[in-house]
Structure 1
Amino acid sequence: MAHIDQVSPTQPELPDAPNPIAQTLRMLWNDKFAFVSTVFLLLVVFCAVFGPLLFEDIATKQNLRGRNAPPFDFEKHWLFWLGGDALGRPLLARIIVAAQNTIFVAAGAVFFSLVIGTSLGLLAGYTTHNISQVIMRLADIIMSFPSLLLAVIVLFMLESSVFNLVIVLAITRIPIYLRTARAETLEVRERMFVQAARVMGASTRRIIFRHILPVVFPTLITIATLDFAFVMLAESSLSFLGIGIQPPEITWGLMVSQGRPYLTTAWWLSFWPGLAIILTTLSLNLLSHWMRTALDPAQRWRLENVGKKNG
């Protein structure tokens, strides 16, 4: 009897799954405004991390013979291309060094308010009515005070420092994340996959962090990007009023405040740090708009198809 080989039918090869990092970079490249904003923000972060290590000595060294040196004098050191301040210190070096405190305050306040507000919002949206009411009333108490006014009052009573500024600004921003997370949780908890997890006996902690948080988090990240710009402006306003970070520490807002008496004679003292604040907040807003589209499955196709249409 002849031996008949049993040949199994060949299975079609499945296409490789797209690399999420490459796909994200491609979508970012398709949106030129978001791409330029990201490059600029990476430059700001680089200055915040390495600026004090490279230029702190130059930024603090006084030279009264070069006080209020005008900008665009290319015969001097390149750090004086934006001019010098009232004590003869190069403005470009001081802007680079000041990026660290400015970004640190904004990032710290946004991080703490995001973590605390999201945790309380998830708890208020999923647990019992009594717990939700207590949490929401605390949020209402904080929101009843204007955020900047509350920060002014607290910082006036406490010592002005980087740590106190981060804590005060974080407390004033907690209700935003809390209310957003609660509203999203109230909607997500009624979906079929959450109800199925509840019927299967999943714990409350697992349901919140495994099933609800991944759905809620993209919206919160988008809000955090916008809030980063607001907190940075709030820090600049407090420093401008003289109750924020105090010398010898330096921020962009403090530089604007220090240049105010010389607006008519040395406009560049306030102009360049003010321009840094404007460009950073504008870049954050543009990046936030891109993130909102990229993280939404119903809108992501717009960014994915831009390159195909141009091609």
Structure 2
Amino acid sequence: MSDSILRNTGRSGPRRFVGMLVADKLACAAALFLLLVFLCAVFGPALLGDAVTGTNLRARNAPPFSLDRGWLFLLGGDALGRPLLARIVVAAQNTIIIAASAVAVSLLIGSTLGLIAGYAGKWTGEVIMRLADVIMSFPSLLLAVIVLYVLAPSVANLVIVLAITRIPIYLRTTRAEVLEVRERMFVQAATVMGASSTRIMFRHIVPVILPTLLTIATLDFAFVMLAESALSFLGIGIQPPEITWGLMVSQGRQYLTTAWWLAFWPGLAIILTTMSLNLLSSWMRVALNPTQRWRLEIGGKTNG
């Protein structure tokens, strides 16, 4: 057993993680589904854009699993006769862009402020933490509703609002991690050797706390996507002719009793994507932790 572990730890980084991911069936299925969503977001509008914009009143509220009108109507048609399958594939782009952009902006700003708050002096850290408390004092969804009601609902405004509401998560987590890591022996040794504060933060502290931040970002991606869907469902998110999964659910709610599939399929896409993100986040929490990674390596060797 020990020899197999040593052979596993000697493999290259990417190959090692791929092997651990393949060994975990649930995490592997989640990663494959997220890869499919990503491919839909990248290539969907170019391949199926015309099918989404065209209308066909003869296919209005067409039931699912009926291939009389072609394979695009496998999931049925909407109120204007547009194929739901094509609309779900194309809507993946806006949904993923909004969630990924909001998470990236909040991660960058929040982690930078957290680094400063954790490593700088006491007064600087207190001022930054009070800023986080101000943001967290407002319910995130309520703040988004107020801002989007005042501003015009658009992709840019939606990303800004969602990013602002998520900054405190990364700020507080980064600060807590920095306060703990800065007391470790290797950081103190670098300080004694005359390393600058910038070098210590970005060469010694950031690599240690980055796995935690990436795990939180993966989980937060699902939360932001649900928040965007909720705002679109309330009618203050993305507006037609733009489309997201949340907007499709909103448009289909008035047909729940007569054409349930209009809201069911985009809702199912949201559920499966968030579930996959949660499963992948749980796997990453173990895979990126050197003290727990051995469990995945042993499990993969045993299953093999």
**1:192-203 correspondence runs (5 A):** 192-203=185-196
Q: Does 1:208 align with 2:201?
A: yes
Q: Does 1:231 align with 2:224?
A: yes
Q: How many angstroms does 1:310 deviate by?
A: 2.4
Please give the alpha-carbon distance, in whole angstroms, between the structure 2 residues aligned to 1:183 and 1:109.
22
Please give the alpha-carbon distance, in whole angstroms, between the structure 1 residues aligned to 2:137 and 2:60.
46
Residue of structure 1 in register with 2:294 after alignment: 301
Q: Does 1:101 align with 2:90?
A: no
Q: Does 1:25 align with 2:8?
A: no
Which has more helix, going by share of residues?
Answer: 2
Q: Does 1:257 align with 2:250?
A: yes
Please give the alpha-carbon distance, in whole angstroms, between the structure 1 residues aligned to 2:8 and 2:152.
60
What is the aligned counterpart of 2:259 among 255, 263, 266? 266
What is the aligned counterpart of 1:122 among 112, 115, 118? 115
The alpha-carbon distance between structure 1 residues 301 and 16, as it changes in their structure 2 partners (threshold 3 A), is closer
**1:48-197 correspondence runs (5 A):** 48-197=41-190
Give the greater-gyration-radius structure (CA).
1
Number of aligned residue pairs: give it: 298
Q: Residue deviations 1:214-272, cap 9 Å, x none?
A: 11110010000000000000000000000000000000000000001100000000000
Please give the alpha-carbon distance, in whole angstroms, between the structure 1 residues aligned to 2:255 and 2:166.
34
The alpha-carbon distance between structure 1 residues 135 and 50, as it changes in their structure 2 partners (threshold 3 A), is same
Residue of structure 2 in register with 1:7 after alignment: none
Sequence identity of aligned pairs in percent? 73
Unaligned runs of 5+ in 1: 1-13
Residue of structure 1 in register with 2:4 after alignment: none
Unaligned runs of 5+ in 2: 1-6
Please give the alpha-carbon distance, in whole angstroms, between the structure 1 residues aligned to 2:197 and 2:36.
42
Q: How many angstroms does 1:60 deviate by?
A: 1.1
Runs of 4+ with deviation above 2 angstroms: 14-17
Please give the alpha-carbon distance, in whole angstroms, between the structure 2 residues aligned to 1:231 and 1:89.
28
Residue of structure 2 in register with 1:282 after alignment: 275
The amino acid of 1:176's aligned partner reads: I
Please give the alpha-carbon distance, in whole angstroms, between the structure 2 residues aligned to 1:120 and 1:167.
17
Please give the alpha-carbon distance, in whole angstroms, between the structure 1 residues aligned to 2:292 and 2:267.
34
Aligned to 1:243, what secondary structure does the other structure show?
coil
The amino acid of 1:284's aligned partner reads: L
Please give the alpha-carbon distance, in whole angstroms, between the structure 1 residues aligned to 2:299 and 2:10.
20
The amino acid of 2:226's aligned partner reads: L
The amino acid of 1:218's aligned partner reads: P
Aligned to 2:300, what secondary structure does the other structure show?
helix
The alpha-carbon distance between structure 1 residues 16 and 281, as it changes in their structure 2 partners (threshold 3 A), is closer
Aligned to 1:219, what secondary structure does the other structure show?
helix
Please give the alpha-carbon distance, in whole angstroms, between the structure 2 residues aligned to 1:28 and 1:228.
20
Please give the alpha-carbon distance, in whole angstroms, between the structure 2 residues aligned to 1:17 and 1:302.
16
The amino acid of 1:34's aligned partner reads: A
Q: Residue deviations 1:115-174, cap 9 Å, x none?
A: 000000011000001110110000000000010000000000001000000000000000
Please give the alpha-carbon distance, in whole angstroms, between the structure 1 residues aligned to 2:10 and 2:23.
20
Q: How many angstroms does 1:107 deviate by?
A: 0.1
Residue of structure 2 in register with 1:46 after alignment: 39
The alpha-carbon distance between structure 1 residues 78 and 291, as it changes in their structure 2 partners (threshold 3 A), is same
The amino acid of 1:107's aligned partner reads: A
Q: How many angstroms does 1:205 deviate by?
A: 0.4
Q: Please, what is the CA RMSD of the aligned residues?
A: 1.3
Please give the alpha-carbon distance, in whole angstroms, between the structure 2 residues aligned to 1:243 and 1:75.
36
Please give the alpha-carbon distance, in whole angstroms, between the structure 1 residues aligned to 2:24 and 2:8.
27
Q: How many angstroms does 1:16 deviate by?
A: 10
TM-score, length of structure 2 as denominator length: 0.96
Q: How many angstroms does 1:274 deviate by?
A: 0.1
Q: How many angstroms does 1:75 deviate by?
A: 2.5
